Homo-oligomer: A and B are copies of this chain.
């Protein structure tokens, strides 16, 4: 029998995540028939080279999705809102990186090694979670399974690339200005279309995405709701309490997270948790305090794994622990998780828009 080969479109192909989706796709196990790079009008004709092969960017029109099997979308919420239905109507299964569809009950929100089984329920669309949520759930899911999980309190240390390549460029320009004792200009961070902008270079911005109700940012809500949806199957679940603070730090790639968590099982201890995580898919434990070995963004860059270290017990609460989690936010936090979902869809023969299609 001939191997089925897939026609794949990357929507938002010119962005920091889009270019990495192409890279990850070329390194994946997916049998590829062809790749289409789609973006907005202003990028038409742009050439993207990967391993000496040139791809020419086409305009993302509804018709561009004809004969496409899988769409890997990373073009922001507004584009996804409009284009995802067009692609599904034309028979393509979509994996979407934007936050627009994530909270829809009919859309599985998937981290393959955590809840890959829900892929079977898809109705044409699978949502890729928020970057900081993905790495947190990769580290927490094996703990939840082994010891039960009651509560999570997270402080994030998020890289500029989470806000796109323009934010990285701005950070580097500010850094250059700072070193020359010149004025730093800010137009992108913390949030491109928000009112105030502040320099990130040699600074900390305790705002990621816009503010919502109860003075939480949208990023903080994403981490609360998405973590519940992924770990408990419901974004409003009360099974695990989740709260936290999201902070942007002057790092280019690699989000850090100081995660404090409470387990159910009184028998859990740091060494057991280390062992549990060491055998978990997608996790690499780097936790040797005596040799000063622990996860760092510069060491995580370019890797697909989620790195975990600094596993310790709260000295005054026996079932409460700390861990320090780092991952490449553009790979596991975005491009790789998207391609990994596509790999699983292919492996499970789920690349078909079903009868009960969303659109």
Decide yes or no whether A63 CB sits under 8 A from chain B. no
How far, in angstroms, from A309 to B270 measured CA to CA in the complex?
A: 33
* Chain B contacts for A297, CB-based, 8 A: 202-204
Name A270-294 residues within 8 Å CB distance of B: 270, 287, 289-294
Name A291-317 residues within 8 Å CB distance of B: 291-298, 309-317
- Chain A residues within 8 Å of chain B by Cβ, number: 64
Question: A292's contact among B196, B249, B270, B310, by CB below 8 Å, is which?
Answer: B196
Question: A204's contact among B198, B207, B256, B320, by CB below 8 Å, is which?
Answer: B256
Whether A195 and B291, one on each chain, are in contact in the complex, defined by CB atoms closer than 8 angstroms, is yes
How far, in angstroms, from A218 to B271 measured CA to CA in the complex?
A: 21
How far, in angstroms, from A309 to B287 measured CA to CA in the complex?
A: 33
Q: Among the listed stretches A2-10, A85-93, A237-245, which one makes contact with chain B, having 4 or more residues with CB under 8 Å of it? A: A237-245
Beyond A215-B311, A290-B211, A322-B245, whether A296 also contacts B205 by CB under 8 A is yes
26 CB contacts below 8 A, A to B, read A155-B245, A157-B157, A175-B175, A175-B179, A176-B179, A195-B291, A196-B292, A196-B293, A198-B296, A202-B297, A203-B297, A204-B326, A206-B256, A206-B296, A206-B310, A211-B292, A214-B315, A215-B270, A215-B287, A215-B312, A216-B312, A243-B314, A243-B316, A245-B260, A249-B249, A260-B260
